Amino acid sequence: MIAGGFALVAGDAITAVGTGDEAVGDGADTNSNESGPDAEGSDEESAHEAVDNPDTAAPTLELSVSPPESVATSEGRAEFLITVANCGEETRSVPIALEVGCVEDELETPSLAPGERTDAYASYTDLDSGALEWSVAVGTVCERGTLTVT
């Protein structure tokens, strides 16, 4: 399958067309801590935090994803809003990786100072019909869900 995509990160535009065979992430972050589904969050918008150093109790990155629950193929677009915040005390540069169905895309590697946040926008067309699993990963933080394409 070939899918077209568009992402806008902090004012920069990225256009992507791919087969979905690209690897997600650069492997530089080897921590395997992931946050699970948030019992109080919704599929519309939820936030997850991860601890980059298991010896400290304070999380350093916060991820919030606003995905569509469903999209009709006639509408043509599945749009995602991704917000990443640095809650730590050091500047962080971590790639934002998004996977929708069999389409894998590394959107951007923002550099965030302590207390800084950035938004990333991704829009995909020509997705297969059905229930597609999606995931967004930023370092060790991961948010997952399902997108229904009718």
When pLDDT is averaged across residues 131-138 and rounded to a whole number, the result is 96
Q: What is the pLDDT of residues 19-46, one digit of tens each?
A: 233 333 333 333 334 444 443 444 444 4
Residue 55 vs residue 102, higher pLDDT? 102
Closest CA to 38 of 144, 148, 149: 144
**What pLDDT was estimated at residue 88?**
93
Instruction: Give per-residue burial for 30-46: e unless 16+ CB within 10 Å, then b.
Output: eeeeebeeeeeeeeeeb
Specify whether the CB–CB gap between 120 and 8 falls below 8 A: yes
**What pLDDT was estimated at residue 108?**
84
Domain borders along the chain are 3-21+47-149
Residue 42 vs residue 125, higher pLDDT? 125
Is the pTM above the cut of 0.85? no
**What pLDDT was estimated at residue 59?**
58
Q: Which CATH class is domain 3-21+47-149?
A: mainly beta
Reported as a pLDDT band with limits 50, 70 and 90, residue 78 is very high
